[in-house]
Amino acid sequence: MCRRPTRLIAIGASTGGVEALVTVLSRFPANTPPTVVVQHMPQNFTGSFAARLDTLCAPSVAEAWDGAPLEQGRIYVAPGGATHLEVEWGAVRCVRLTPTPPVNRHRPSVDVAFHSIVRAGASGVVAALLTGMGRDGAEGLRAIRAAGGRTIAQDRATCVVFGMPRAAIEIGAVDVGTPLESIADEIFSNELATKEAI
């Protein structure tokens, strides 16, 4: 069965995620599909983290803002602390930042971002859950998989903390578990030879 071309990439991470994200995102091509990243991080740290990633990655990387356009070649990091990142995927395709209460004790929450992608009806989604403590992202990853998206988890051997990927695997949310160094390749293995406009 042919897979749909990737139109949106979503990645969640927590403990150990900063360096894991450097490893993954630095391997993305300049023309990557629009990508959203939720890393559990305190307020005022995500801006500098995004700036660091921007120097290391071929695509443009920035801290997300409300209304940021989801376009090819752009990676957005959810701001820490005050808001959740959600995806709007209709006539307008953009990031929304919502000041709703923490979910799974986190704001931003990976689950909130992943569930918003499903609610928005985005197709051609690839989502990955990286190293981290707890269960944030597991249910959202399962929802993406149930909606036809492709789901990836970092394997136990390369995680600093295997909690989030393990939780996702336990509930049947994961298509592929793979070492950190292979996650970018796994994300882009989803592409079709025949391209479709993003």
As annotated, the active-site residues are: 14, 40, 136
Enumerate the β-bridge partners of residue 93.
Answer: 89
3-state secondary structure of 16: coil
Dist. CA 62–CA 52, nearest whole Å: 9
Q: Which position has the token pair 């995004």?
A: 50
What is the number of H-type helices and E-type strands within the chain?
6, 9
- Give the integer Cα–Cα distance in Å for 95 and 65: 7
CA distance 193 to 30: 18
Identify the CA nearest to 24 among candidates 107, 129, 100.
129
